[in-house]
Structure 1
Amino acid sequence: MKHAAGTLAFIARFVILGLAVAFVVSLLWPGVGDRLRAGIGLHPAQPAQRASASPTRSSGPVSYADAVAKAAPSVVNIYANKMVTEQGVQMYSDPVLQRLFGGRPTVYQRREQSLGSGVIVSEQGYVLTNNHVIAKADDIQVLLYDGRVAKAQLVGADIETDLAVLKIDVSNPPVIPLAEEHPARTGDVVLAIGNPLGLNQTVTMGIVSAIGRQLSSANPEEFIQTDAAINLGNSGGALVNTDGELVGINTLLIGKAANAEGISFAIPVNSAKKVLDQIVDSGHVVRGWLGVDYAFVPVAADSGLPAAARGAQVTDVYPGGPAALAGIQPHDILLRIGDNDIVDAADLRKREAAIKPGSKVEVSGLRNGSPFHVEVTLAQRPPMTPTASTDS
């Protein structure tokens, strides 16, 4: 037993001595171990792989400062001044007369100023803004990003899109790049730049909540919906993408008065560009008009048909209008205009407005279940009645 214990002690001393020698060698010659293992055909030990891959980093920018720096110089502040006439009562200076008659009716004027925003969109100094910002203004002043102030001339306005075109005479106006080739998509990050509450060059961020919104049954224009914060004074300002390109003109917010939050609208840049070009060319926007009112096709619950049937049903025909002259009647269901099928009432509004007045098109549909075809010569759409001013 003593012999076995001595043997084990002897072996332990040599193991400890060997480990100590190996430790000293590894300190003095760090690579000797790998060279010895390679000499006998063993590969160097590889570090163990991490149990889980590191999370993929988002490809989105950490900051939007570059986009703001690119777009902000083109966004201007607009101050629209107008004289407002109001009824009042003039009090007599003599206490006796004032006690007897109280006062006399009078009319007085006061100057009112509207705040808004605008975007410089051409080297000729054309500025896009909202019509409700400059409506009935006697004097329009524009404050540029670099501090210059310019008097603006109204070139023309379009009530249906709530757009107006101004012109300023300044040297080297900063022009915003347009995102005509990259239309906004639902989910895109967008930045709203404007003059909310007179605070000058304020930037807010959100996403595109929806596209193709129609805000009026009588209006063919479509809008971008966003949750980027838009407040009073943002009207006419820029909605830009993360590359600093203009995707829309901010125009309307639905505020807390409607128990809403984060619901704002902008006019898509492609629509705004068409309005700009027509106003610059002719001073107004021209749209085609059939001379009918229409709505969705009603479908009975037990008909077995989809809830939203294809086409648009005529609800009213304007006497003497293009449709009336062609023989279209109330309750007709319109299915095709020109070479295009009609998806629904909203689709017909867009296609009708896009046709040049004076053009002849074939309109097909159903009357009491029987197909019919008529040729209609479209007229120019009459001006819309101005609507109440928006909240932005």
Structure 2
Amino acid sequence: MDSVDHFSEQKKKNYKILNLVYYQKFIIEPFFFYLKQSITLVVYSFINFYLFLINIFYYVSKSINKKCIEMSNQNLVSCSPPLDNLYNSFVTIYTIHKKNNILEHTFKIQNLKFLGSGFIYDKKGYILTAAHNITSLDDIFVAKNCDKFYLANVTGLHKESDVCVMKINSKEPFSHISLDSINEDLKQGETVIAYGQIQDFDKETYSIGIVNQPKQSFTQFTNFNDEQQTCLYPFIQISNPINKGMSGSPVIDKHDNLVGMLQKKIDNFGLALPAHILKNITSHLQHKGKYEEPFLGLILKEKEYAIKNYKRVNKGLNIHEVIVGSPAEIGGLKKEDIILNINNRNIGNICDIHEILNSSCNRCVNFEIIRDNKKLKIKVKLW
């Protein structure tokens, strides 16, 4: 009886073990296997969905950017004026050294040496270019206009303002960019067009950009004339791509008005001399062959001194010294006077004064000053 009971107990144990093995083999292990597979599938699906979203975002962003660029280009192109007059007025300037012993109207194109860009501003064939393009006045100059080559002479050159006037040796009338149609009221963000000849390129090129700063100044460009007067010219800072050879190129606005002439490049920005300053200097160079900068005879301090000395003044310059015998002294300006405006134009820095003096055709200027807490008006005749 005991042996039968023992056998029965053993059989029950074996049966339980078999049940456990069966449960482990056919239930637990498959469950975890499929659970693992399911988790892997879910993770994989999430990853694929995430990558799908990234791709969708990339292509949508790319399409939007492309559309924005197209719209921007369309807007710029629609804002740009017809380029016919710009093209017909543009000149590329070359030189031939006298050692070639050429005749007056005979030269070989392969002997031409590229100097820079320029543009015709008068129907008689007067050209404006950057003075630094002219390396020697002893050279013989050739101007290329509308695929025609002309001999040209230097009429006048002013290194300090980097302006040179040339004259084409021809009696035929030329297309030109008039100095009587200029824009001197530029705003930041305004569209401008530059047209020039890049060195080593066969054809001229134009670019569309915006005005970054209509009145930019740099202290490192300070020059002095014979009287040791600081000569600070403001520049128009533009976003147009500027390359070597484009100095002297015209810059116009969307209404075909002259904005300025390219002279320098700083980093990725172009710097153009404003048209109203260019016009005054050009008039002197064309008719007199030289330009003498107006001499005032003041040593000035920046506006913070004016604010310190007279609390209600938000703009202006303090006169630190008046040179003895100068136009400023003769006109009645004195040390510690505060200059508020010149010719009804507010003064914020020294650059503003030089802009007014060098853009004025009249050598008489009207000052509004503060002296002993009183406003006065003084007229000064410049030298």
| TM over 0.5, shorter chain | yes
Report if the CA contact (8 A) 1:78-1:140 is conserved: no
**Residue 216 (structure 2) aligns with:** 213
**Any idea what SS the aligned residue of 2:304 has?**
coil
Q: Cα distance 1:219–1:176, how it changes in 2: closer, same or farther (>3 A)?
A: same
| Structure 2 gap segments, 5+ residues each | 1-67, 99-110, 223-229
Cα RMSD, aligned residues only: 4.0
CA deviations on 1:227-284 (whole Å, 9 max, x unpaired) are 1111221010122334555332111111xxxxx3x21111233332333233223333
**Any idea what SS the aligned residue of 2:187 has?**
coil
Distance in 2, matches of 1:316 and 1:223, equals 27
Report if the CA contact (8 A) 1:288-1:355 is conserved: no
**Any idea what SS the aligned residue of 1:116 has?**
strand
Q: CA deviation at 1:220?
A: 5.4
Q: Cα distance 1:142–1:188, how it changes in 2: closer, same or farther (>3 A)?
A: farther
Within 5 A, what are the aligned runs for 1:283-298? 283-285=289-291, 287-298=293-304
**Residue 165 (structure 1) aligns with:** 165
**Residue 270 (structure 1) aligns with:** 276
Q: CA deviation at 1:365?
A: 2.9
**Any idea what SS the aligned residue of 1:153 has?**
strand
Report if the CA contact (8 A) 1:253-1:263 is conserved: yes
Q: CA deviation at 1:164?
A: 1.1
CA deviations on 1:182-235 (whole Å, 9 max, x unpaired) are 854322232222122231412233212121223456335432110111122101
**Residue 4 (structure 2) aligns with:** none
| Corresponding letter in the other structure for 1:270 | H
Q: CA deviation at 1:337?
A: 5.0
Structure with the greater alpha carbon radius of gyration: 2
Within 5 A, what are the aligned runs for 1:306-321? 309-321=314-326
TM-score (norm 2): 0.62
Q: Cα distance 1:72–1:333, how it changes in 2: closer, same or farther (>3 A)?
A: same
Report if the CA contact (8 A) 1:212-1:223 is conserved: yes
1:232 matched to 2:248? The reply is no
CA deviations on 1:298-347 (whole Å, 9 max, x unpaired) are 259999958x8322112343333123445645444334557666454343
Report if the CA contact (8 A) 1:80-1:137 is conserved: no
**Any idea what SS the aligned residue of 2:353 has?**
helix
Q: CA deviation at 1:153?
A: 1.1
Identity, % of aligned pairs?
Answer: 24
Q: Cα distance 1:282–1:365, how it changes in 2: closer, same or farther (>3 A)?
A: same
Q: Cα distance 1:371–1:114, how it changes in 2: closer, same or farther (>3 A)?
A: farther
| Corresponding letter in the other structure for 2:208 | M
Report if the CA contact (8 A) 1:336-1:365 is conserved: no
| Corresponding letter in the other structure for 2:353 | L
1:198 matched to 2:195? The reply is no
Q: Cα distance 1:185–1:327, how it changes in 2: closer, same or farther (>3 A)?
A: closer
Aligned counterpart in structure 2 of residue 249 of structure 1, from 261, 282, 289: 261
Q: CA deviation at 1:117?
A: 0.5
Distance in 2, matches of 1:183 and 1:372, equals 28
Q: CA deviation at 1:140?
A: 4.2
Distance in 1, matches of 2:130 and 2:140, equals 13
| Corresponding letter in the other structure for 2:130 | N
**Residue 156 (structure 2) aligns with:** 156
| Corresponding letter in the other structure for 1:73 | N
Report if the CA contact (8 A) 1:190-1:239 is conserved: yes
Q: Which has the higher helix share?
A: 2
**Residue 138 (structure 2) aligns with:** 138
CA deviations on 1:104-136 (whole Å, 9 max, x unpaired) are xxxxxxx99662101011110001111111153
| Structure 1 gap segments, 5+ residues each | 1-54, 84-110, 255-259, 381-392
Distance in 2, matches of 1:342 and 1:243, equals 29
Distance in 2, matches of 1:172 and 1:72, equals 15
